[in-house]
Structure 1
Amino acid sequence: MSRFQFRPATFKMVFFMYLLGTVIFAILYLLPVSHKQPLLPVDAFFLSASAISATGLSTVTVAQELTTAGKIILLIQMEIGGIGVMALVGALLIALRTNAPVPSQTLMIFDQNQNSSRSISKLMAFIVKYTLIVETAGFLLILPSALQHGSHAFAAFFLSVSTFTNAGFEISGNGLDNFKGEPFVLAVLSCMIILGVLGFAVVMEFLQSRRKKKSLYFKVNVLMHGILLLTGFLFFFFVDFIHMPGLSFTEKIIQSLFFSAAPRS
């Protein structure tokens, strides 16, 4: 541990990267091409801060007040916020075949629970592949149902990204009401939420180190996520069982799982 030295300047760099990203995207939301109705700077900044921090809060109705260009900008910012600035910086440096400064490498190593710059390079490549695979698979699985309910492909892809990054935004205008009686879609969305919130390092360790002894980081993450997910599921299933009329037993199980997974994010 002694070989890793944290410097205040390194943490300041991360803070200013998030702040700069928030300001840049707020300016993009203020462009005429991004919104249909007048948008106040404070609302644009709040939307930008919410998207990059993956909170899902907004003072504007995204479905009605943002244009297609604005929604694409929001989708990109959700992706950045969900993956993480440090992870994206690492992936960019790898793509450009450029070495990051030592303090920045140290912060990326600890941010992603790795033990060397070599392992962080492998993780960065894994993050890009993993994100593309999960979001594409989720999009393809929910697309037929979305089209059946009169939605469009972009809305389905937007929902896939929003779910995996745990951002919570949607552009259909009615939340997930269309999928209320569709256990398959809710099961897919629940799985995407869980896969997104577990953390890239945990998933990578599970897939690539099945026969090796798991790290404490892995054990704590999986154990706590499992406890929270199971506790929430049992609570919603037994407390709200009588408040889910018209649903079969299987549908109530899926609905309870989704109720537990969504706030767990």
Structure 2
Amino acid sequence: MFLKYFEKWSTSQKIAASFAAVSFIGSILLSLPISQLPTSNATYVDNLFSSISMVCVTGLFTESIADSYTLFGQIVSLILIQIGGLGLMTLIAIFVLRLSKGKIGFKNKLAVQQGINRGDSQDFRNFIYIIIKYTFVIEGIGMILLSFYFVPELGWSRGLFTSLFLAVSAFCNAGFDILGNSSLTQFVHNPLINLTIASLIILGGIGFSVWFDVAHLIKTNQKAKTSSSLIKQIRTLTIHTRLTITMTLGLLLTGTLLFFIAEYANPESIGSFSLGEKVLASFFHTVTMRTAGFATVDYTGITPFSMFTSTVFMFIGGSPGGTAGGMKTTTIAIVLLLFYNELRGQDNVNVYYHTITKSIVKQSLVIFISMLSVLLLGASLLLLFNPHVNPLFLIFEAVSALGTVGVTANLTPSLSRMSHFVIMFLMFAGRIGPITLLDSLIRKNKAVKDILYSKGSLIIG
């Protein structure tokens, strides 16, 4: 009965409803006595906040996992993070494929495609299964690497579970841990933990289609056994993959350099570190700002310049089709190219000797405006509800929530309940996308006519 009704919903409604349903169920499970430590101070609203943050792979919390939840509650948290990272629609697709012997309805297929940002439905079944396979493989490798530190420190059972939790949280770009209230600040000088977590964040946030494109290139070269130049090989990658990798490397390099320069002599952040430690902390900071949410430095001590640039990086976020949030690297690239080409008097947006279609350019601009609009709304409400808090900290918090990043200037628990509801809305909107959220609430099933009137003229600028 419900499945038939669910089948009639629009794609946007299915995506929004799936995340809302899991968030609600998660809040109930986290509120059970079996999930709560005897010393826990978490109310239902705290559990709802945590559940939404986990499903939206953000990382913000009002009460920490370590101080609130038992092992059962931590396992529930881990499952919520994994569901949020892969997207419930992906898991629904697996379930439907199993029941229907490999067949899935067009509407549900479209919902899953939009949920994972896949542009076509070719070889859809294998694509979904490979996502699950590679996710578990990468998380498993991350768990093994982290266990080299945590097992000797915490013992086999607790050490392995901590390693698993961090690996899943990092790959899903969630930013949650079960170590306490200070994230990973105690491991700021540990290369194994920093580089493993950073690698998982990048792999999760770069997008599933990029993995497969690069893997296909490697397999093709191995079979052909050719010795063509690296540039020629790179040109065989799709435009999306090349632009995604270029933007990712550029943002990582720029962010690391800016943070390193701005914080080099700041004793409140990395000023007292050795040169190698400063580089490591700067790199990890830049990676985690790509919607991961882990922290190895105290953000209340960084310079205003670093906080501002970090806010910009959080707003950009990761790449489409992965576990990261934010506006996405390819979207900002198209918007910037549009701006650049308009200054040059060029009508088309060109990337790697290809012209991007007008529809994609328009969609990128709409996504940019919608993200900015939701951010302005959320930040304005936080400023209204918290007039005595540093405005830069509040804007940092708002962008962190909307970009599903999860870092905070030690602010989230101290905010009012109204502010917590604002942050929950921002996290939810950031995870499913503002356009998807509005479309799920507004759009009717009836087709809308595209009306064309006589051309008009306006003076702008």
TM-score, normalised to structure 2's length? Answer: 0.53
Asked which structure has the greater CA Rg, the reply is 2
Aligned length: 258
C-alpha distance in 1 between matches for 2:90 and 2:217: 21
* Contact 1:52 1:78 (C-alpha < 8 Å) held by counterparts: yes
Residue in structure 2 matching 1:127, options 118, 127, 131: 131
1:138 aligns with 2:142: yes
Q: Alignment partner of 2:123: what SS?
A: helix
Report the 3-state secondary structure (helix = DSSP H, G, I; strand = E; otherwise coil) of the residue aligned with 1:264: coil
1:76-115 equivalences in 2 (<5 Å): 76-96=79-99, 97-110=101-114, 111-115=116-120
> Are 1:152 and 2:169 matched, yes or no?
no
Letter in structure 2 aligned against 1:235: L
Q: Give the C-alpha shift of residue 84 in structure 1.
A: 1.2
Cα distance, 1:12 vs. partner? 1.1
1:161 aligned residue: 168
Displacement of 1:90: 2.2
**Paired amino acid for 2:44:** P
Q: Which moved more, 1:50-59 or 1:176-185?
A: 176-185
SS of 1:168's equivalent?
coil
**Unaligned stretches of 5+ in structure 1?**
1-6
**Partner of residue 300, structure 2:** none
What residue number does 2:288 align with? 262
| 3-state SS of paired residue (1:152) | helix
Residue 194 (structure 1) aligns with: 202
TM-score norm. by structure 1 comes to: 0.89
Counterpart AA for 1:255: A
Counterpart in the other structure of 2:244: 221
Partner secondary structure for residue 71 of structure 1:
helix
Deviations 1:205-247 (A, max 9, x none): 1112456832232233222222211111111222223343564
Supply the distance in 1 between the matched residues of 2:199 and 2:191 (Cα, whole angstroms): 12
Distance (Å, rounded) in 2 between the aligned partners of 1:121 and 1:114: 14
Partner of 2:14: 13
Which AA in structure 2 matches 1:178? Q
What displacement does 1:26 show? 0.9
Mapped partners of 1:31, 1:112: distance in 2: 35
More divergent stretch after superposition (100-109 vs 243-252): 243-252
What displacement does 1:45 show?
A: 1.4
1:152-199 per-position Cα deviation (integer Å, ceiling 9, x unaligned): 221121111111111111111142133222122211111111001111
Correspondence 1:205 to 2:205: no
Q: Measure, in 1, the Cα distance between the counterparts of 2:166 and 2:249.
A: 24
Q: Distance in 2 between matches of 1:252 and 1:101?
A: 52
Q: Which moved more, 1:41-50 or 1:151-160?
A: 151-160
- Do the aligned residues in 2 keep the contact of 1:164 with 1:195 (CA within 8 Å)? yes
Once residues 236 and 90 of structure 2 are traced to their aligned partners in structure 1, the CA distance between those partners, rounded to angstroms, is 25
Q: Summarize the alignment of residues 31-110 of structure 1 with structure 2, pairs less than 5 Å apart.
A: 31-36=32-37, 37=40, 39-96=42-99, 97-110=101-114
Paired residue for 2:304?
none
Amino acid in the other structure paired with 1:84? G
- The question of whether the paired residues in 2 share the 8 Å contact of 1:34 and 1:68 is answered with yes
Counterparts of 1:38 and 1:256, CA distance in 2 = 35
Please report how far the alpha carbon of residue 46 of structure 1 lies from its aligned counterpart in structure 2 after TM superposition.
1.3
In 2, the alpha carbon distance for the partners of 1:257 and 1:198 equals 17
Q: Residues 109 and 65 (structure 1 numbering): CA distance in 2 closer, same or farther, change over 3 Å?
A: closer
CA–CA separation in structure 1 for the residues paired with 2:151 and 2:24: 35
| Cα pair 1:126 1:204 within 8 Å, conserved | no
Partners of 2:193 and 2:173 in 1: how far apart? 16
AA of the residue aligned to 2:71? T
What corresponds to 1:241 in structure 2?
264
CA drift at 1:253: 2.2
- Cα distance between partner residues in 2 of 1:252 and 1:183: 12
Structure 1 equivalent of residue 402 of structure 2 = none
Q: Distance in 1 between matches of 2:212 and 2:164?
A: 24
1:24 counterpart SS class: helix
Separation in 1, partners of 2:142, 2:33:
32
Q: Which moved more, 1:243-252 or 1:197-206?
A: 243-252
Deviations 1:101-138, CA, capped at 9 Å, x for gaps:
2112123234432422x422222111111111111111
